[in-house]
Amino acid sequence: MMARAYPMEGLPQQVTVYEVGPRDGLQNEAAIVPVEVKAEFIDRLADAGHKVIEATSFVHPKWVPQLADAEQLLDRLHRRPGVRYPVLVPNERGLDRALERGVDEIAVFASATETFAAKNLNRSLESQFEMFEPVVARALENGVRVRAYVSMCFGDPWEGPTPVSQVVAVGERLLGLGCYELSLGDTIGVGTPGHVTALIEAFTSPDKLAVHFHDTYGQALGNTLAALRAGVTTVDASTGGIGGCPYAESATGNLATEDLVWMLRGLGIETGLDLDKLVATSTWLAARLGRPSPSRVVQALAKG
């Protein structure tokens, strides 16, 4: 059952849900998910109305074995008109692989802290840009759009709270390279609504920001509402709430797409997504992963 919508002032009329389930959602799975299951998962997401689905990552298979089938997956995709299928690219070799497959949109990922940059990228906070700059430049030269992620924007398990000024410095630099959008990641889920508002307001262009929340402390929906009030209109989410980060053990599941859509529907905000089809997709995927979806909305509606 869905109650009537009660809009609130100061919120957007429409929100883009940037679906990360096939990449960020599946990358932590211990058992390898067959490529045909991944391809069907992506097609089901498109059928549910998604217009942007991050399909996979061209990271070295040694580091994320689950995504070693990136080329095979892209070859299997049934690409629908009007749907974007970006991929994550860690370095120039990853870009080469993406370009060979005709990819037209990529994402790069950076760290807002020294320790996570060292653990995730084997770089310092400053030297990480030596990786990104040629990737972004070459992608743009080839007509490929580039999105940027920044991890540990609210806190780092080794360093504690991340200074807002540090996040802004990294983020503005990425936007300056030519990235069309910057996704602010709460990798370990420690952000709270006031912190979210302060960080977004510290940027010069909130319209170029997206948010990526993990629900470790149950704050993801509250943080999303704060971000929408601050001017953000793109929210990353993972169907079924699957996923985490292989380099941050305290990072639990992503914000579930179904939970996000339920809240947005209740606020009268359009997403273009079919909630029933999303729930059916999560239930289908859960059977293949061998465990129930952590999404509260999926749990409630699947029983109904």
Q: Do the beta carbons of residue 112 and residue 150 sit within 8 Å?
A: yes
Report DSSP letters for the chain, one per residue. Answer: --PPP---TT--SB-EEEE-IIIIITTT-SSPPPHHHHHHHHHHHHHTT-SBB--EE---TTT-GGGTTHHHHHHH--PPTT-B--EE--SHHHHHHHHHTT--EEEEEEESSHHHIIIIISS-TTTTHHHHHHHHHHHHHTT-EEEEEEE-SSEETTTEEPPHHHHHHHHHHHHHHT-SEEEEEETTS---HHHHHHHHHTSS-GGGEEEEEB-TTS-HHHHHHHHHHTT--EEEEBGGG----TT-TT--PBPBHHHHHHHHHHTT-B----HHHHHHHHHHHHHHHTS----HHHHHHHH-
HEC per residue, 12-31: CCECEEEECHHHHHCCCCCC
Which of these, 159, 214, 221, 210, lies nearest to 186 by C-alpha position? 214
245 is catalytic: yes
- Dist CA 247 CA 241 (whole Å): 18
- Dist CA 171 CA 189 (whole Å): 19
Exactly one of 117, 245, 255, 269 is catalytic; name it: 245
Return the active site residues.
245
